[in-house]
Amino acid sequence: MAKFLFVLSRGLEDPSRATRCMQLAAFAKRAGHDVTVFLVDDGAVFAKPGIAALVSCPTGDKMQPYVDELVAADTPFLVCTPCAISRQLDEKEFIEGAYLETAKTLIALAADSKVFTF
């Protein structure tokens, strides 16, 4: 199976892209692929419990069920450290499987993965 890296830089201002990111990551995980989600810029807010529940897109898809599915499947959610700090997000309050990482890790993952950006 393939390794996929889903990079989400959009936050609450772009519910369609944010939802699609999690939807496609969940579909890839269901298919047996190795999936990692990296939250950068405004996407870092989705590391906080309850935020995904606020998001749905015009098609009616809701973000939270996809996040729940990914968490249940032990998908790592990596959160850009400076992005989280600037938004006053505390790693101790992240969703299960989410933790702080750096650009160095993002680049290393990208070198070995098929990358989707949202």
**Domain tally for the chain?**
1
Domain that holds residue 90: 3-117
CATH number of the domain at 35, please.
3.40.1260.10
Helices (H) and strands (E) in the chain, counts: 4, 5
- Rounded Cα distance between 112 and 73, Å, is 21
Model confidence over 71-116: pLDDT tens digits?
999 999 999 999 999 999 999 999 999 999 999 999 999 999 999 9
- Number of residues that this document lists for the chain: 118
Residue-wise pLDDT for 27-56, tens only, equals 999 999 999 999 999 999 999 999 999 999
